[in-house]
Structure 1
Amino acid sequence: MNLDEALEPRCTICTRALYADEINRYACHPCTRRCDEQLLELAGPRGLYAKLGSHLAPGSGSGGPAVSGSRNAPVPLRLDVLNLLTAGGPVLGPLETWVRDWEARGRAELNEAGTLQQRVNHAVGTLRFNLEWAATNHPAFDEFAREVSLMHRQASVHVAGERPPRAIPVACPCGAILRVGLDTPGVRCYGCGEQYGHAEVLRLPVAERRAAA
Protein backbone atom coordinates (compact mmCIF):
# COMPACT_ATOMS: atom_id res chain seq x y z
CA MET A 1 0.00 0.00 0.00
CA ASN A 2 1.49 3.38 -1.03
CA LEU A 3 1.29 6.57 1.00
CA ASP A 4 -1.72 7.95 -0.89
CA GLU A 5 -3.67 4.74 -0.32
CA ALA A 6 -2.69 4.72 3.36
CA LEU A 7 -4.08 8.23 3.78
CA GLU A 8 -7.41 7.42 2.12
CA PRO A 9 -10.39 7.37 4.49
CA ARG A 10 -11.28 3.70 4.93
CA CYS A 11 -14.09 1.67 6.46
CA THR A 12 -12.93 0.49 9.87
CA ILE A 13 -14.69 -2.86 9.34
CA CYS A 14 -13.89 -4.06 5.80
CA THR A 15 -11.03 -1.51 5.34
CA ARG A 16 -11.98 -0.61 1.76
CA ALA A 17 -11.59 3.03 0.71
CA LEU A 18 -14.72 5.05 1.42
CA TYR A 19 -16.71 6.55 -1.46
CA ALA A 20 -17.40 10.27 -1.66
CA ASP A 21 -20.80 9.92 0.03
CA GLU A 22 -19.21 7.90 2.87
CA ILE A 23 -16.49 10.34 3.88
CA ASN A 24 -16.52 11.17 7.62
CA ARG A 25 -18.09 7.80 8.43
CA TYR A 26 -16.46 5.03 10.46
CA ALA A 27 -18.17 2.35 8.36
CA CYS A 28 -19.20 2.10 4.73
CA HIS A 29 -22.85 1.75 3.78
CA PRO A 30 -22.69 -2.03 3.04
CA CYS A 31 -21.07 -2.82 6.40
CA THR A 32 -23.63 -0.64 8.19
CA ARG A 33 -26.50 -2.38 6.37
CA ARG A 34 -25.08 -5.82 7.22
CA CYS A 35 -24.92 -4.86 10.89
CA ASP A 36 -28.51 -3.59 10.75
CA GLU A 37 -29.70 -6.82 9.12
CA GLN A 38 -27.92 -8.96 11.70
CA LEU A 39 -29.50 -7.00 14.54
CA LEU A 40 -32.93 -7.31 12.93
CA GLU A 41 -32.55 -11.09 12.60
CA LEU A 42 -31.73 -11.45 16.30
CA ALA A 43 -34.91 -9.91 17.72
CA GLY A 44 -38.65 -10.52 17.58
CA PRO A 45 -40.84 -13.62 18.10
CA ARG A 46 -39.37 -15.28 15.01
CA GLY A 47 -35.82 -14.02 15.50
CA LEU A 48 -32.73 -16.05 16.25
CA TYR A 49 -32.84 -15.34 19.98
CA ALA A 50 -36.43 -16.60 20.26
CA LYS A 51 -35.63 -19.69 18.17
CA LEU A 52 -32.76 -20.67 20.48
CA GLY A 53 -35.35 -21.79 23.03
CA SER A 54 -36.30 -24.63 20.68
CA HIS A 55 -32.74 -25.93 20.63
CA LEU A 56 -32.15 -26.55 24.32
CA ALA A 57 -32.58 -30.32 24.12
CA PRO A 58 -29.49 -32.44 23.35
CA GLY A 59 -29.53 -33.30 19.66
CA SER A 60 -31.90 -30.51 18.67
CA GLY A 61 -29.10 -28.54 17.07
CA SER A 62 -27.68 -31.40 15.05
CA GLY A 63 -30.63 -32.72 13.11
CA GLY A 64 -32.45 -34.27 16.08
CA PRO A 65 -35.98 -33.40 17.14
CA ALA A 66 -36.45 -29.85 18.37
CA VAL A 67 -38.01 -29.05 21.71
CA SER A 68 -41.68 -28.15 21.60
CA GLY A 69 -42.99 -24.77 22.74
CA SER A 70 -43.34 -26.08 26.28
CA ARG A 71 -41.54 -24.25 29.07
CA ASN A 72 -40.44 -27.58 30.53
CA ALA A 73 -37.41 -28.41 28.40
CA PRO A 74 -35.90 -31.85 28.85
CA VAL A 75 -32.96 -32.33 31.21
CA PRO A 76 -30.06 -32.25 30.67
CA LEU A 77 -30.07 -29.04 28.65
CA ARG A 78 -27.52 -27.94 26.12
CA LEU A 79 -25.46 -25.57 28.24
CA ASP A 80 -23.94 -23.81 25.23
CA VAL A 81 -27.41 -22.81 24.03
CA LEU A 82 -28.63 -22.01 27.54
CA ASN A 83 -25.66 -19.68 27.99
CA LEU A 84 -26.73 -17.73 24.91
CA LEU A 85 -30.16 -17.19 26.48
CA THR A 86 -29.02 -15.84 29.87
CA ALA A 87 -29.11 -12.17 30.87
CA GLY A 88 -25.33 -11.97 31.03
CA GLY A 89 -24.72 -14.29 28.07
CA PRO A 90 -23.07 -13.44 24.75
CA VAL A 91 -26.25 -12.02 23.20
CA LEU A 92 -28.18 -9.88 25.67
CA GLY A 93 -25.09 -9.00 27.71
CA PRO A 94 -23.17 -7.25 24.90
CA LEU A 95 -26.35 -5.71 23.46
CA GLU A 96 -27.18 -3.98 26.72
CA THR A 97 -23.55 -3.01 27.27
CA TRP A 98 -23.65 -1.09 24.00
CA VAL A 99 -27.00 0.46 24.90
CA ARG A 100 -25.42 1.73 28.12
CA ASP A 101 -22.51 3.13 26.13
CA TRP A 102 -24.79 4.91 23.69
CA GLU A 103 -27.04 6.05 26.54
CA ALA A 104 -24.05 7.83 28.09
CA ARG A 105 -23.74 9.71 24.79
CA GLY A 106 -27.41 10.69 24.84
CA ARG A 107 -28.39 8.37 21.99
CA ALA A 108 -30.19 5.43 23.61
CA GLU A 109 -32.17 4.37 26.67
CA LEU A 110 -31.63 1.17 28.61
CA ASN A 111 -34.68 -0.80 29.71
CA GLU A 112 -34.03 -3.86 31.88
CA ALA A 113 -37.71 -4.46 32.65
CA GLY A 114 -39.70 -7.36 31.24
CA THR A 115 -38.64 -10.77 29.99
CA LEU A 116 -35.24 -11.50 28.48
CA GLN A 117 -36.87 -11.57 25.04
CA GLN A 118 -38.40 -8.14 25.64
CA ARG A 119 -35.02 -6.81 26.73
CA VAL A 120 -33.39 -8.17 23.58
CA ASN A 121 -36.13 -6.59 21.46
CA HIS A 122 -35.70 -3.23 23.18
CA ALA A 123 -31.92 -3.26 22.94
CA VAL A 124 -32.00 -4.17 19.26
CA GLY A 125 -34.66 -1.54 18.57
CA THR A 126 -32.76 1.32 20.16
CA LEU A 127 -29.44 0.28 18.62
CA ARG A 128 -30.97 0.04 15.13
CA PHE A 129 -32.69 3.39 15.58
CA ASN A 130 -29.33 5.04 16.32
CA LEU A 131 -27.22 2.97 13.93
CA GLU A 132 -26.60 5.70 11.35
CA TRP A 133 -25.53 8.08 14.11
CA ALA A 134 -23.09 5.47 15.44
CA ALA A 135 -21.63 4.66 12.01
CA THR A 136 -20.81 8.34 11.60
CA ASN A 137 -19.95 9.38 15.15
CA HIS A 138 -18.91 6.45 17.35
CA PRO A 139 -15.15 5.73 17.18
CA ALA A 140 -15.70 2.12 18.31
CA PHE A 141 -18.34 1.31 15.71
CA ASP A 142 -16.09 -1.38 14.21
CA GLU A 143 -15.89 -3.13 17.59
CA PHE A 144 -19.68 -2.91 17.94
CA ALA A 145 -20.27 -4.33 14.45
CA ARG A 146 -17.91 -7.24 15.06
CA GLU A 147 -19.65 -8.10 18.34
CA VAL A 148 -23.02 -8.04 16.58
CA SER A 149 -21.60 -10.30 13.85
CA LEU A 150 -20.27 -12.70 16.46
CA MET A 151 -23.53 -12.99 18.43
CA HIS A 152 -25.47 -13.39 15.17
CA ARG A 153 -23.12 -16.16 14.05
CA GLN A 154 -23.27 -17.95 17.41
CA ALA A 155 -27.07 -17.94 17.41
CA SER A 156 -27.27 -18.93 13.72
CA VAL A 157 -25.01 -21.94 14.22
CA HIS A 158 -27.36 -23.45 16.81
CA VAL A 159 -30.62 -22.54 15.08
CA ALA A 160 -29.48 -23.87 11.71
CA GLY A 161 -27.84 -26.92 13.26
CA GLU A 162 -24.52 -26.15 11.59
CA ARG A 163 -21.03 -26.60 12.91
CA PRO A 164 -19.07 -23.41 13.63
CA PRO A 165 -16.67 -22.48 10.81
CA ARG A 166 -13.22 -23.96 11.30
CA ALA A 167 -10.68 -21.50 12.70
CA ILE A 168 -7.25 -21.42 11.06
CA PRO A 169 -4.13 -20.00 12.77
CA VAL A 170 -2.43 -17.28 10.74
CA ALA A 171 0.73 -15.36 11.54
CA CYS A 172 0.91 -11.58 11.89
CA PRO A 173 4.28 -10.09 10.85
CA CYS A 174 4.82 -9.18 14.50
CA GLY A 175 4.83 -12.88 15.40
CA ALA A 176 1.40 -13.08 17.02
CA ILE A 177 -0.87 -15.98 16.01
CA LEU A 178 -4.44 -15.09 15.10
CA ARG A 179 -7.24 -17.63 14.68
CA VAL A 180 -9.57 -16.71 11.85
CA GLY A 181 -12.25 -18.34 9.71
CA LEU A 182 -13.68 -17.72 6.25
CA ASP A 183 -16.46 -15.66 7.85
CA THR A 184 -14.19 -13.51 10.04
CA PRO A 185 -15.16 -9.90 9.20
CA GLY A 186 -11.84 -8.57 10.49
CA VAL A 187 -9.57 -8.76 13.49
CA ARG A 188 -7.18 -6.60 15.50
CA CYS A 189 -3.82 -8.18 16.32
CA TYR A 190 -3.35 -8.52 20.06
CA GLY A 191 0.42 -8.28 19.63
CA CYS A 192 0.97 -5.09 17.65
CA GLY A 193 -2.53 -3.60 17.42
CA GLU A 194 -2.68 -3.80 13.60
CA GLN A 195 -6.25 -3.87 12.29
CA TYR A 196 -6.92 -6.36 9.47
CA GLY A 197 -9.99 -6.36 7.26
CA HIS A 198 -11.62 -9.56 5.99
CA ALA A 199 -9.55 -9.85 2.82
CA GLU A 200 -6.32 -8.77 4.49
CA VAL A 201 -6.48 -11.26 7.35
CA LEU A 202 -7.16 -14.12 4.92
CA ARG A 203 -3.99 -13.20 3.03
CA LEU A 204 -1.79 -13.67 6.11
CA PRO A 205 0.38 -16.81 5.98
CA VAL A 206 -0.85 -19.89 7.79
CA ALA A 207 1.09 -20.29 11.05
CA GLU A 208 3.39 -23.24 11.46
CA ARG A 209 2.11 -25.97 13.73
CA ARG A 210 4.80 -25.30 16.34
CA ALA A 211 3.91 -21.63 16.52
CA ALA A 212 0.15 -22.27 16.55
CA ALA A 213 0.34 -24.82 19.37
Structure 2
Amino acid sequence: MPVAPTTSKDIGATFATIQNSLRNYLRRQVDDPSIAEDLLQDVFVKALVTINANRTPANLTGWLYAVARTTVVDYYRSKRLDVTELDEDLPDTQQINDELLHRELANCLRPLTLQLPAIYRDTLLATDFGGQTMSSLAKEQGLSRSAIKSRASRARVMLKEKLLECCHVEQAGGIVTDYRPRSSSTCKVECA
Protein backbone atom coordinates (compact mmCIF):
# COMPACT_ATOMS: atom_id res chain seq x y z
CA MET A 1 0.00 0.00 0.00
CA PRO A 2 1.58 3.32 -1.03
CA VAL A 3 2.32 5.83 1.68
CA ALA A 4 0.57 9.15 1.15
CA PRO A 5 2.90 12.14 0.82
CA THR A 6 2.91 14.34 3.88
CA THR A 7 5.02 17.33 2.90
CA SER A 8 5.12 19.89 0.14
CA LYS A 9 8.30 18.22 -1.08
CA ASP A 10 6.50 14.84 -1.30
CA ILE A 11 3.56 16.32 -3.18
CA GLY A 12 6.01 18.03 -5.53
CA ALA A 13 7.71 14.72 -6.32
CA THR A 14 4.38 12.96 -6.89
CA PHE A 15 3.09 15.83 -8.99
CA ALA A 16 6.27 15.80 -11.11
CA THR A 17 5.79 12.12 -11.96
CA ILE A 18 2.25 12.60 -13.32
CA GLN A 19 2.55 16.20 -14.51
CA ASN A 20 2.74 15.34 -18.23
CA SER A 21 -0.23 13.02 -17.97
CA LEU A 22 -2.28 15.70 -16.19
CA ARG A 23 -1.17 18.29 -18.76
CA ASN A 24 -2.33 16.02 -21.63
CA TYR A 25 -5.67 15.49 -19.91
CA LEU A 26 -6.17 19.25 -19.45
CA ARG A 27 -5.16 19.98 -23.05
CA ARG A 28 -7.89 17.63 -24.22
CA GLN A 29 -10.41 19.52 -22.09
CA VAL A 30 -9.61 23.11 -23.15
CA ASP A 31 -8.69 24.51 -26.57
CA ASP A 32 -5.87 26.84 -25.51
CA PRO A 33 -2.58 25.20 -24.37
CA SER A 34 -1.72 28.23 -22.22
CA ILE A 35 -5.02 27.86 -20.36
CA ALA A 36 -4.23 24.18 -19.84
CA GLU A 37 -0.88 25.21 -18.29
CA ASP A 38 -2.67 27.68 -16.00
CA LEU A 39 -5.13 24.99 -14.94
CA LEU A 40 -2.24 22.61 -14.26
CA GLN A 41 -0.72 25.18 -11.92
CA ASP A 42 -4.11 25.61 -10.23
CA VAL A 43 -4.21 21.84 -9.59
CA PHE A 44 -0.75 21.99 -8.02
CA VAL A 45 -1.72 24.97 -5.81
CA LYS A 46 -4.89 23.19 -4.65
CA ALA A 47 -2.79 20.14 -3.80
CA LEU A 48 -0.35 22.22 -1.77
CA VAL A 49 -3.18 23.93 0.11
CA THR A 50 -4.69 20.55 0.96
CA ILE A 51 -1.36 19.12 2.14
CA ASN A 52 -0.60 22.23 4.22
CA ALA A 53 -4.03 21.88 5.87
CA ASN A 54 -3.05 18.30 6.91
CA ARG A 55 -5.76 16.76 4.74
CA THR A 56 -3.52 14.47 2.68
CA PRO A 57 -5.58 12.14 0.46
CA ALA A 58 -4.82 8.42 0.62
CA ASN A 59 -4.73 8.02 -3.19
CA LEU A 60 -2.90 11.14 -4.28
CA THR A 61 -2.82 10.29 -8.00
CA GLY A 62 -6.57 9.68 -8.19
CA TRP A 63 -7.20 12.75 -6.09
CA LEU A 64 -5.07 14.91 -8.43
CA TYR A 65 -7.12 13.72 -11.42
CA ALA A 66 -10.33 14.53 -9.55
CA VAL A 67 -8.96 18.00 -8.76
CA ALA A 68 -8.05 18.42 -12.45
CA ARG A 69 -11.60 17.53 -13.48
CA THR A 70 -13.15 19.98 -11.01
CA THR A 71 -10.64 22.65 -12.01
CA VAL A 72 -11.81 22.33 -15.63
CA VAL A 73 -15.44 22.57 -14.48
CA ASP A 74 -14.60 25.66 -12.42
CA TYR A 75 -12.85 27.21 -15.42
CA TYR A 76 -15.90 26.79 -17.64
CA ARG A 77 -18.21 28.04 -14.89
CA SER A 78 -16.11 31.17 -14.53
CA LYS A 79 -16.49 31.81 -18.26
CA ARG A 80 -20.25 31.95 -17.70
CA LEU A 81 -20.91 30.12 -20.92
CA ASP A 82 -24.47 29.25 -21.79
CA VAL A 83 -24.85 26.00 -19.95
CA THR A 84 -27.51 23.47 -20.64
CA GLU A 85 -28.13 21.03 -17.87
CA LEU A 86 -27.28 17.55 -19.07
CA ASP A 87 -29.25 14.44 -18.50
CA GLU A 88 -27.55 12.38 -15.81
CA ASP A 89 -27.97 9.28 -17.97
CA LEU A 90 -25.58 10.63 -20.61
CA PRO A 91 -22.30 8.73 -20.84
CA ASP A 92 -19.22 10.15 -19.14
CA THR A 93 -17.13 11.94 -21.81
CA GLN A 94 -13.89 11.12 -19.99
CA GLN A 95 -14.82 7.45 -20.10
CA ILE A 96 -15.57 7.77 -23.81
CA ASN A 97 -12.22 9.53 -24.38
CA ASP A 98 -10.44 6.79 -22.44
CA GLU A 99 -12.20 4.09 -24.47
CA LEU A 100 -11.22 5.82 -27.73
CA LEU A 101 -7.61 6.06 -26.55
CA HIS A 102 -7.58 2.37 -25.65
CA ARG A 103 -9.19 1.39 -28.97
CA GLU A 104 -6.60 3.41 -30.92
CA LEU A 105 -3.79 1.76 -28.98
CA ALA A 106 -5.39 -1.66 -29.41
CA ASN A 107 -5.33 -1.14 -33.19
CA CYS A 108 -1.51 -1.02 -32.90
CA LEU A 109 -1.30 -4.30 -31.05
CA ARG A 110 -2.45 -6.71 -33.77
CA PRO A 111 0.19 -5.60 -36.35
CA LEU A 112 2.84 -5.69 -33.63
CA THR A 113 1.65 -9.15 -32.58
CA LEU A 114 2.08 -10.38 -36.15
CA GLN A 115 5.81 -9.57 -35.86
CA LEU A 116 6.30 -12.06 -32.98
CA PRO A 117 7.75 -15.55 -33.55
CA ALA A 118 5.03 -17.96 -34.70
CA ILE A 119 4.53 -19.97 -31.48
CA TYR A 120 4.07 -16.81 -29.44
CA ARG A 121 2.08 -14.95 -32.08
CA ASP A 122 -0.36 -17.83 -32.60
CA THR A 123 -0.85 -18.33 -28.86
CA LEU A 124 -1.52 -14.64 -28.26
CA LEU A 125 -3.85 -14.33 -31.26
CA ALA A 126 -5.84 -17.37 -30.16
CA THR A 127 -6.15 -16.48 -26.47
CA ASP A 128 -5.97 -12.70 -26.03
CA PHE A 129 -7.36 -11.65 -29.40
CA GLY A 130 -9.55 -14.64 -30.28
CA GLY A 131 -10.94 -15.36 -26.83
CA GLN A 132 -10.00 -19.06 -26.86
CA THR A 133 -9.29 -20.51 -23.44
CA MET A 134 -5.77 -21.64 -22.66
CA SER A 135 -7.09 -25.09 -21.75
CA SER A 136 -8.79 -25.59 -25.10
CA LEU A 137 -5.73 -24.30 -26.99
CA ALA A 138 -3.50 -26.65 -25.00
CA LYS A 139 -5.77 -29.59 -25.82
CA GLU A 140 -5.90 -28.56 -29.49
CA GLN A 141 -2.09 -28.37 -29.73
CA GLY A 142 -1.39 -31.40 -27.55
CA LEU A 143 0.43 -29.34 -24.92
CA SER A 144 -0.01 -28.75 -21.22
CA ARG A 145 -1.98 -25.74 -20.03
CA SER A 146 1.14 -24.43 -18.28
CA ALA A 147 3.06 -24.53 -21.59
CA ILE A 148 0.37 -22.40 -23.23
CA LYS A 149 0.28 -20.10 -20.22
CA SER A 150 4.05 -19.69 -20.42
CA ARG A 151 3.90 -18.94 -24.16
CA ALA A 152 1.15 -16.37 -23.62
CA SER A 153 3.13 -14.71 -20.84
CA ARG A 154 6.29 -14.54 -22.95
CA ALA A 155 4.27 -13.24 -25.91
CA ARG A 156 2.81 -10.42 -23.79
CA VAL A 157 6.30 -9.42 -22.63
CA MET A 158 7.57 -9.39 -26.24
CA LEU A 159 4.51 -7.42 -27.38
CA LYS A 160 5.01 -4.88 -24.61
CA GLU A 161 8.66 -4.44 -25.64
CA LYS A 162 7.64 -3.90 -29.28
CA LEU A 163 4.93 -1.43 -28.28
CA LEU A 164 7.28 0.58 -26.06
CA GLU A 165 9.83 0.59 -28.89
CA CYS A 166 7.24 2.15 -31.22
CA CYS A 167 5.25 4.37 -28.86
CA HIS A 168 5.76 6.45 -25.74
CA VAL A 169 3.05 5.25 -23.34
CA GLU A 170 2.02 7.20 -20.25
CA GLN A 171 0.32 5.44 -17.37
CA ALA A 172 -1.24 6.47 -14.09
CA GLY A 173 -2.26 3.86 -11.59
CA GLY A 174 -1.60 1.07 -14.11
CA ILE A 175 -3.98 2.59 -16.66
CA VAL A 176 -2.82 4.01 -20.00
CA THR A 177 -3.59 7.73 -19.97
CA ASP A 178 -1.87 8.78 -23.20
CA TYR A 179 0.46 7.55 -25.91
CA ARG A 180 2.21 8.88 -28.97
CA PRO A 181 4.42 7.33 -31.64
CA ARG A 182 8.14 7.74 -31.08
CA SER A 183 9.65 10.04 -33.68
CA SER A 184 12.95 8.16 -33.80
CA SER A 185 11.31 4.74 -33.81
CA THR A 186 12.55 1.95 -36.02
CA CYS A 187 9.06 0.51 -35.76
CA LYS A 188 7.61 -0.92 -38.95
CA VAL A 189 4.03 -0.37 -37.81
CA GLU A 190 2.19 2.94 -37.60
CA CYS A 191 0.57 3.32 -34.15
CA ALA A 192 -1.56 6.39 -34.70
Q: TM-score range by the shorter chain?
A: under 0.3
Bigger radius of gyration among the two: 2
TM-score, scaled relative to structure 1: 0.25
| Structure number with higher helix proportion | 2
TM-score, scaled relative to structure 2: 0.27
